[in-house]
Structure 1
Amino acid sequence: MKRKSLFLGAALIIMLSIFLTACGGSNKESENKNGNKGTENADNGKKDYGIKFLSIATGGTGGTYYPLGGNFASMIQDATGIESNAVTSNASAENMALIKKKEVEVAFTQTDIATYASEGTMMFNGEKVDNVRGLGTLYPETIQIVTTSKSGIKSVEDLKGKSVSVGEAGSGTRANAEQILEMYGMTVDDVKARNLSFDDSTTGIQDGTIDAAFITAGTPTGAVEGLAATEDVVIVPLDADKIDALIDKYPYYAKETIPTGTYASVKNDIDTVAVQAMLVVQSDLTDDLVYDMTKAIFENTDKIGHAKGKLIKTENALNGMGIEIHPGAKKYFDEKGVSAK
C-alpha cells in the first residue's frame, strides 16, 4: 500500500511538471526577420517594448495633424500591439514641451521648431528640449511670400520699406521671415513689420492695410485661396543662390516649388523653401519600438485617409530633418538606402 502511494505521488508530480512546462515560459526571446530582438509574449505573439500605452500629440481637430495622428496610431497599434491614440494640442511648439515633460511619446512638429527646441533657441530660449529625436519628415510646410500684382512687389528686395506681415510674435513663421530676409542682407527693421495671423494677413492685403505677408503652411493654403478668389495673387520667388545659402546655414529648410496653378493667378512654378512637418519621439524609447513604428508608418502610406498621405514618402523622410534621428528610425532608413537630400 505504501509503495502504491509512492507511485501515485510520483505520477502526480510528473503530471504537474508537464502542466507547468506547457503553461509556463509565457515570454521568450525572439528575433524577427529584420533582426529586431525583443521579448515576445506567447499570448499574442507581440514583443514587449516596455510600454503599454502610446500617445501621439497632434494639433487641433480642424487641422491636418489630428487626422493623420489617428491614422498613425492605428498603424502603430496594429504593428506593435501597444494601445495607441492621437491627442489634441496646440501643435508644434506645445508638442515639444509635451515631449520634454514626457506626457506623450510621439509628437507632430515642424523641422525648424524641433531644431529650436533641441538647441534651446528662439521661442525655447533657456528651455532646451534634450530628450527629443527625429522619426521622419512627412510633407512640406511651404514658406510663401504673398502679395498682389497691384503692389508692384516682385522680389524679396522689393519688400524694403513696405508693410509686411511677418507672422505672429514667437511663431515659426516669424523666424522664417527673419532668416529669409537675412539672406538678402535685410532684417525685419527694413520693413514695416506687422505680426498677423494668416487670415488677418490675407484680409490686410485685400483691404490694402498691408502690402505682403509671409505665410508658412501646406499648399494650397485656404487663406491664400480666399484672397486669390478676389485678387491677382503673386507669390514672390526666392533666388537659387539665396535658397542654397539659407539651407547651408539652417539645414531644417528644404527646396520647394509651388507648381503652376496652385492658385488661380500663379502662371509659373515658384521656387521657394519649406520646413517639413515631422514626427519626433522621446529619445528613451527602445530602438526596436521606434524601428517598428517607422516601418509601420512608411510602409502603409496607402492606408492614410488624408490627402497629405500622398506626399509622405520613405525616400523623402530625412529631408530637412535638422535634429538627431532616433537610432531605431535610422536603422530603418539605412536599410532602405535613404539619406537626406
Structure 2
Amino acid sequence: MCWNIKHAAKAFVAVALIAPALLGHAQAGQGDIAIGTGGVTGIYYPAGGAICEMVNRESQATDLRCFTESTAGSIANIRALRDGSLDFAIVQSDWVYHAYHGTSVFASDGPFDGLRVVFELHSEPFTLVARKGSGIIGFEDLKGKKVNIGLPGSGQRSTMDVVMKAYGMDYDALGGTTELSETGMAKAICNGEIDAMVYTVGHPAAAISDVANNCDVELVNVEGPAIDKLVSENGFYQKVSIPGDLYEGTGSAVNSFGVRAVLVTTAKEPAGTVNRLTTDVLGHFADFARLHDSFSVLKPEDMINDHLAPIHEGALSAIAALGLQPQP
C-alpha cells in the first residue's frame, strides 16, 4: 500500500538531516552526492528522499551515499547545478528546457549546454487554491484578490509569471501579493491573510492537505483560450486533470495544465555515478514506486525522454543495460 504523503515527507526528513555537514557538493566527500529538491512540505523533497533511499540501500557495496537538500525550488536548483554547489536536482520540465536553451528567466545566463537529464518523474499541475466564499471561480477572478505567488527563484513563482502573462495580467491587478513558503502560505490562507495561493506540484501534496484539513478551500479550474494557447505553443506543457476527492472538502476533478518533475545533473557528473543512481531506481522500480503516492502511475519507459535536454551518458548506459528505450 502506498504511503500517505504526510508520512512519506516525515520519513524522508531523516535523509536530509543525516550528517548535515555533508549536504552540498562543496562539502561532500567523493562518495557523496547531494540532490537539490524544494520545500519540505512539497513533493520534490520526499521524491529526492525516495531516490536517495534507493541509492543508499546499496551504499556499502558501492561506496556511494546520497543526501537531499531542501531548496527554494527549480530556478534556484538550476543555478546551483550551474555553479557546482549541487550534484543533482529535481526541476520542473519547463525550466529544464529554458535553462538548456538560455531562454525565459535564463536569457541573461545564456544556454546551459552542460545540463543533462537523468530521468523524468511525476506530472505537476499548476494548482490554484482559493478560500471558499472568496468569489474566485477562475484565474481571472484573482483580480483585486490577495494571492501568494511563491518564493523568488521557485518554479512555482516563475510559472505564475507565465500564467499571468498568458492572461494579459500584471501583479498590479491583484489586491496584493505574498512570497511565502509552502508552510507559510497554508497558514496565511487559513488565517484569512490571503484569498488564494498557487502551487505547481504533484498530487496529493502535503501543503494542500494541510490547508484543506484546517480551513474551507476549493481547487479552481485554470482553463480556457489563454491556457489552450499556452499549451499549444510550448511542448513542455500539457493539459492535466487533478482528481476529485483528493483533499478534505474538495469534490469533482479540476482542469489545469502542468509540467513534469525531472531529475537533472550536469555533463561533469561522472558516468559511473549517474549509471549507479539510474540503475538503483529504474532497475528496482517496483520498490521505488511504493515509496510515494505520486509514483504509482509511473512506468520506467515513460520516464526516459530527451526532448528537454540531452540524457546523461551514464543514464543512457544504465537504460540500455536495463533494456529500456528513450521515448521520441
Q: TM-score, with normalisation over the residues of structure 2?
A: 0.72
Are 1:181 and 2:172 matched, yes or no?
no
1:308/1:220 Cα in 2 relative to 1: closer, same or farther (>3 Å)?
closer
Where do residues 280-319 of structure 1 align in structure 2 (5 Å cutoff)? 280-285=264-269, 290=274, 293-304=277-288, 305-318=291-304
How far the C-alpha of 1:177 sits from its partner, in A, is 1.2
1:185/1:94 Cα in 2 relative to 1: closer, same or farther (>3 Å)?
closer
Counterpart for residue 57 of structure 1: 35
Counterpart for residue 85 of structure 1: 66
Range moving further from structure 2, 246-255 or 164-173? 246-255
Distance in 1 of aligned mates of 2:326 and 2:98: 25
Distance in 2 of aligned mates of 1:191 and 1:183: 15
Distance in 1 of aligned mates of 2:306 and 2:228: 13
CA RMSD of aligned residues (A): 3.5
Counterpart for residue 110 of structure 1: 92
Counterpart for residue 183 of structure 2: 199
Q: Is the 8 A contact 2:36 2:86 kept in 1?
A: no
How far the C-alpha of 1:275 sits from its partner, in A, is 2.8
Distance in 1 of aligned mates of 2:32 and 2:211: 41
Aligned length: 289
Q: Is the 8 A contact 1:57 1:95 kept in 2?
A: no
Q: Secondary structure at the match of 2:296?
A: helix
How far the C-alpha of 1:217 sits from its partner, in A, is 2.6
Counterpart for residue 160 of structure 1: 143
Counterpart for residue 204 of structure 2: 220
Q: Is the 8 A contact 1:61 1:67 kept in 2?
A: no
How far the C-alpha of 1:147 sits from its partner, in A, is 0.5
Distance in 1 of aligned mates of 2:47 and 2:140: 34
Distance in 1 of aligned mates of 2:229 and 2:275: 33
**Alpha-carbon displacement from aligned partner over 1:210-250 (angstroms, at most 9, x marks no partner):** 22111223323333223323433221112265444223334
Identity score, percent: 24
Where do residues 12-27 of structure 1 align in structure 2 (5 Å cutoff)? none
Distance in 2 of aligned mates of 1:61 and 1:178: 20
Distance in 2 of aligned mates of 1:84 and 1:251: 35
1:150/1:100 Cα in 2 relative to 1: closer, same or farther (>3 Å)?
same
Q: Is the 8 A contact 1:89 1:95 kept in 2?
A: no
Which structure is larger by alpha-carbon Rg, 1 or 2? 1
Runs of at least 5 residues in structure 1 that lack an aligned partner in the other structure: 1-51
Counterpart for residue 339 of structure 1: 327
Q: Is the 8 A contact 1:259 1:268 kept in 2?
A: yes
Runs of at least 5 residues in structure 2 that lack an aligned partner in the other structure: 1-29
How far the C-alpha of 1:158 sits from its partner, in A, is 1.5
Q: Secondary structure at the match of 1:126?
A: coil
2:114 pairs with one of 117, 131, 136: 131
Counterpart for residue 123 of structure 2: 140
Counterpart for residue 43 of structure 1: none
Q: Secondary structure at the match of 1:229?
A: helix
1:283/1:309 Cα in 2 relative to 1: closer, same or farther (>3 Å)?
same
How far the C-alpha of 1:268 sits from its partner, in A, is 0.8
